Amino acid sequence: MDFILSEKRKEVLETIDRFGVITNRQLEKFLSYMGVNTIRRGRQQLKELGFIEEKSFGRRKVSTITKKGSEYVGQIMTGASSSYSQLQHDLTVNEIVHALVQQYKEKGHSVTFLTEREVIRKAFLSLSYEEIKKPNKLRHLSKEVPDFLLNFRDQSFAFEVELNRKTHQRIEKKVQQYKQSVEENTYSRVFYICKDEGIRRHVESFAKGVGVDIHFLMLHEVIDDEEV
């Protein structure tokens, strides 16, 4: 059965698809030029069509793209994981993306961004047929790409958001990948946004060990995490 969405409701769906999971408040922030009631009616229709699912996360309402909804958009083509343990991280990333984009705009700069889902899809499409056939390739890619990218003046900035300390092995592997990406000019700079100083020092020690220049920001410098 074919579904025809209005342009505004399709835009609501496309935004949810880009992030995979997003709070209703965050959705309204990214679509601030659109009326709140228009967004709410759009979400309701998308839910009725099975294009998104909604659930509570604390006091927040979260919209999650379904496979059906993503296929309708036709870009990423996969549903989003709604793992409760990953939600806090994903929603924090959303908040950071919005905050950084706004900072650039307030300074009169034009900036675009790619979410993790978009980066994964782009990486997946660049793989050979043999690589694509490997089991769980998409899941492995999610561990290899940044949490998001900011594109500014022909430069691509990679961002990693660390709310919890990772194992030595995971950190070392990730910074090694970033070193290679910087050397290949895939990314102009790499930023780690860390929740606390302990996490920052942990990442910094491995970055120095492999010889990659990483720029650090503290989470509280970028957003008020109480609002996430």
Per-residue pLDDT reduced to its tens digit, 179-203: 999 999 999 999 999 999 999 999 9
Read off the pTM.
0.92
**Helices marked H in 49-167:** 67-73, 84-106, 116-125, 129-132, 137-141
Tell me the residue type at 178.
Answer: Y
Nearest to 127 by CA among 140, 115, 114, 116: 140
Cα 140 to chain center, whole Å? 16
pLDDT at 137 over 60: no
Q: What is the mean pLDDT of the chain?
A: 91
Per-residue confidence (pLDDT) for residue 48, from 0 to 100: 95
Contact 52, 63 (CB under 8 A): yes
- Which residues does residue 115 pair with via DSSP β-bridges, in sequence order? 148
Per-residue confidence (pLDDT) for residue 139, from 0 to 100: 62
Per-residue confidence (pLDDT) for residue 94, from 0 to 100: 97
The residues, ordered by sequence, that sit 6+ positions from 26 with a Cβ below 8 Å of its Cβ are 19, 91, 94, 95, 98
Q: Which helix (H) or strand (E) holds 159?
A: strand 155-162
Q: How far apart (Å, rounded) are the C-alpha atoms in residues 9 and 118?
A: 20
